[in-house]
Amino acid sequence: MMRSFLLGCILVLLVAGVATAVLGGGDITFSVSGAGNVLFSHENHAGSRKIGCKECHYKVFINRANHKTTTMAEMQTGRSCGTCHNGKRAFSVADPASCGKCHH
């Protein structure tokens, strides 16, 4: 009886730990002069939208240490954020009405 209770408690703690886990990477702020910085949220993309890590790493994005600056013109041709933010999968980086969704 006591053993079942302890196992039940351990199971509840494990499930609660997984449910409240924070995705690796956290929030990343990209400094953008003249347009407002961009805050990238791993939780929004990988958590809420359920985009798998391998969809971006290491095809589209390398890592923070090897990050390469990308221009808006390059994004509009499908590089970097423009891979998904193309107006089909997600809002387009080419749409001037969308600027405030990324730049703050």
Each of the 104 residues of the chain gets a pLDDT tens digit; together they read 655 544 454 554 544 444 445 567 889 899 998 999 999 999 999 998 999 999 998 888 887 777 788 999 999 999 999 999 999 999 999 999 999 999 99
Q: Which pLDDT score is estimated for 66?
A: 76
C-beta contacts of 92-99 below 8 A and 24+ residues apart = 99/35
* Record: fold of 23-102: Cytochrome C3 (3.90.10)
Q: Which parts of 20-92 fold into alpha helices (H)? A: 42, 53-56, 72-75
Q: What phi-psi label fits residue 87: left (phi over 0), alpha (psi between -120 and 50 degrees) or beta?
A: left
Sorted by where each begins, the domain ranges of the chain are 23-102
- Give the pair of three-digit tokens for residue 28: 């990343």
In angstroms, the CA 32 to CA 38 distance is 7
